[in-house]
Structure 1
């Protein structure tokens, strides 16, 4: 018997598949394809992109002064982000092996490909590399954290959580003491079985 939560998750999966199909159609419209995870634009598409690029000098001349003044604050975060990346990667390399949890692949989360867009100037490309890394890193960390939570404490919170990770829907209800031990064992089996190791 499929639970209502399982039905909702199946609908979410179907919507993700539909979204992927729509994005694939956009690839055709913008005349690029992926070959072995590398972006390949048609020559004419590249020519049009280059024609639309705003030169760096013009870009900086038009920039809001506050954007320029706050840039060092934004870029200073690379230090804690890099440390987070290092510590979480080491954590999962050691602990996930010990627990039997399949490791999370960084490449499934951290995508750095926007610098291939010819309509971006050098600073815009740098910004896109930075954002791709930082947001991808947070996705990577969230996946590692969700597998850890599913292994150690798969219990929903009493209050609503805004945009919880995918495993959260399968967690045990808050206050369900009778089901806790069995649910913990089920959750551990599920997290160890569902994910493929890198």
Structure 2
């Protein structure tokens, strides 16, 4: 009989599937398809989107000066992001094969596709490319870190933690000394079994 936690995890997965179905339905509403990972809009939908584009000059005139002044700070983050991307990619390439953990696919997390939207001007498209990369990178890093934690230290924290990764629910309860070794073994099997299934 599944535990309460396992039942809740199964329900969360069902809700995620429902969300994906709703997103697919909305895709039909906005008249685009994904073919081989590439966005294709119907021509009428693209024409309609262009009607809503705000010209770059208008966009810049409407932007508060303090927002413009903070832009270099935001864009300077590309350096640490790129370094993080490089080092984490090297880390998993070197360590994950040793542990038997399947590598995280970057492309499953980093999506750069919003620049295809005809209602965005050039600067908005650049911003969307940057945000898609930065947020996708964080998701990529989080999954690598989550798999590492599941392999080495699958223990829940004593206090509530916001934004837990998907492996956290299967961790051993804080303070469960008796359950630690069996829980560690179970977590390692879960995080490494993906290779056998994939």
TM tier, smaller? over 0.9
Where does residue 103 of structure 1 map in the other structure? 103
Shift in Å at residue 70 of structure 1?
0.3
| 1:137–1:48 CA distance, 2 compared to 1 (3 A) | same
The equivalent residue for 1:66 is 66
1:45 aligns with 2:38: no
Give 3-state SS (helix, strand or coil) of 1:104's partner. Answer: coil
Match of 2:129 in 1: 129
Deviation (angstroms), 1:196: 6.8
Q: Over aligned residue pairs, what C-alpha RMSD do you find?
A: 1.3
TM-score, normalised via structure 1 length: 0.97
SS in 2 for 1:34: strand
Secondary structure of the corresponding residue to residue 33 of structure 2: strand
Measure how far apart 1:190 and its partner are.
1.1
User: Counterpart of 2:167?
Assistant: 167
* 1:74-132 per-position Cα deviation (integer Å, ceiling 9, x unaligned): 00000000000000000000000111100000000000000000000000000000000
CA contact (8 A) 1:102 1:197 kept: no
Query: Could you say which residue in structure 2 is the equivalent of 1:87?
Result: 87
Residue 15 (structure 2) aligns with: 15
User: Following the alignment from structure 1 to structure 2, what is the Cα–Cα distance between the partners of residues 195 and 131?
Assistant: 30
TM-score, normalised by the number of residues in structure 2:
0.97
Is 2:176 aligned against 1:176? yes
Which residue of the partner structure matches residue 25 of structure 1? 25
CA distance in 2, matches of 1:63, 1:20: 35
| Aligned counterparts of 1:11 and 1:197: Cα–Cα separation in 2 | 22
Task: Note if contact 1:104-1:197 (Cα within 8 Å) is conserved in structure 2.
Answer: no
Q: Is the 8 A contact 1:102 1:192 kept in 2?
A: yes
Task: Please name the residue that 1:150 is paired with.
Answer: 150
Alpha-carbon displacement from aligned partner over 1:23-50 (angstroms, at most 9, x marks no partner): 1111111110110010000011101111
How far is the alpha carbon of 1:185 from its aligned partner?
A: 1.2
Structure 1: gaps of 5 or more residues = none
Distance change >3 Å, CA 195–CA 167, structure 1 → 2: farther
What is the CA–CA distance in structure 2 between the aligned matches of 1:197 and 1:11, rounded to whole Å? 22
Question: Cα offset for 1:60?
Answer: 0.4
Give deviations 1:57-81, integer Å, cap 9, x for gaps: 1110111111101000000000000
CA–CA distance in structure 1, aligned partners of residues 47 and 196 of structure 2: 41
